[in-house]
Amino acid sequence: MNNHREPLFHLSKRKEIGWAQAMLIRAIAIILALAVCALVTMVFTGQNPVDIFWTIFEGSFGSERRFWVMMQNLAMLLCISLAVAPAFRMRFWNIGGEGQIMIGVLASASCMILLGGKLPDAALIAIEIVAAVAAGAIWGVIPAFFKAKWSTNETLFTLMMNYVATQLVAYFIIIWESPKGSGQIGIINQKSQAGWLPQIGSYKYLLPVLVVAVLTVVMYIYMNYSKHGYELSVVGESERTARYVGIKVSRVIMRTMALSGGICGLAGVLLVAGTDHTMTTTLSGGRGFTAVMVAWMAKFNPIGMIFTSFLLVFLQKGAGEVASNFGLNESFSDILSSIIIFFLIGCEFFIQYRLVFNRKEDK
């Protein structure tokens, strides 16, 4: 007699799922996330769920300024997601986006502080862009070199380099602090605006948005239709196969990480010279880590990253607006954002796997 009891259900990996079905699963996850956020907010505030959902919408579209702030946040997150995507497609786990951004921030701020007023503005902007991109590329190549030569763990290496970059920024903030003893450098070149990226019309955030839009198209072509994009995909599938067909794996690893770091450095320029005009240890705002999730959810497709970045930024801005409007502190906004991210990550599991209920056999 067999007393073994079969489980009620088991998980089965999906062989293939259609685009429409995947979108349906994500839509359900978003609805559930918003419902849970509304429920949590109701418990703390007693507000009507309709008011809560309207407040979420107003967080990004309530005014022209909110819209452009949302677009700037979207552009920055998308830019960094485009940076980490090639490395992840190559199966190089680059968790160092934060550090590569911060080293780009430091390079561009250094040029603005040390060379501001000494060079024509066009020359200064060109130098700070080159310096930031080069600094980010070098910061990306360092772990790639050790990985290629000695197979070091790139996850830990890139993660530790985040802290090094952040502490370098903190050190130079103390060196250049203004006023002395404030622990910050304030607005760089506030009077002369030397090194500031030009503003298009009255739109402060339009130039960074356009730069990232062009970058998205370029990266889509690079990753899907170029020889380099093909090589990094082959390396990601199997290094042994890549070597067999004559691809130099070490070169691909270092080249791809130079590209990733360089784009992160560009993001640093856009933050310092384009929008914030200052340097702080929190200027990247955790986007280097969030970008990993964006790239993964979009399956490393630059076009898909546009929608994923928009979704995250829109919901997070809405969560902040809910916390602000209903008199809750900033931590409550983080709670709502975490709920949203939890559901978005969770839905990807159900895109990859499905529940199969075991049927009882007739005896």
Domains (range + CATH), the chain:
68-313 (1.10.3470.10)
pLDDT tens digits for range 115-157: 998 999 999 999 999 999 999 999 999 999 999 999 899 999 9
| pLDDT over threshold 50, residue 225 | yes
Task: Share the mean pLDDT of the chain.
Answer: 89
Residues 35 and 342: beta-carbon distance below 8 Å:
no
Helix, strand or coil, per DSSP, at residue 352: helix
- Where is average pLDDT lowest: 165-174, 179-188, 219-228? 179-188
Instruction: Summarize the confidence of residues 64-92 as an average pLDDT.
Output: 95
Centre a 10 Å sphere on the Cβ of residue 328 and count the other Cβ atoms it contains: 16
pLDDT tens digits for range 284-309: 989 999 999 999 888 899 999 999 99
Q: What is the pLDDT of residue 359?
A: 64
63: DSSP letter: S
Residue 203 φ/ψ, nearest 5 degrees = -100, 105
pLDDT tens digits for range 54-75: 888 898 898 999 999 999 999 9
Query: Which two three-digit tokens encode residue 192?
Result: 């002369």
Q: What is the pLDDT of residue 8?
A: 67
Instruction: Summarize the confidence of residues 163-190 as an average pLDDT.
Output: 90
Contacts of 328 (CB under 8 A, 6+ apart): 41, 44, 45, 322
Cα dihedral 153→154→160→165 (10° resolution): 150
Of the pLDDT bands very low, low, confident and very high (cuts 50, 70, 90), residue 6 is: low
Q: How far apart are CA 311 and CA 8, in angstroms?
A: 35
Residues 260 and 87: beta-carbon distance below 8 Å:
yes
Instruction: Summarize the confidence of residues 247-257 as an average pLDDT.
Output: 95
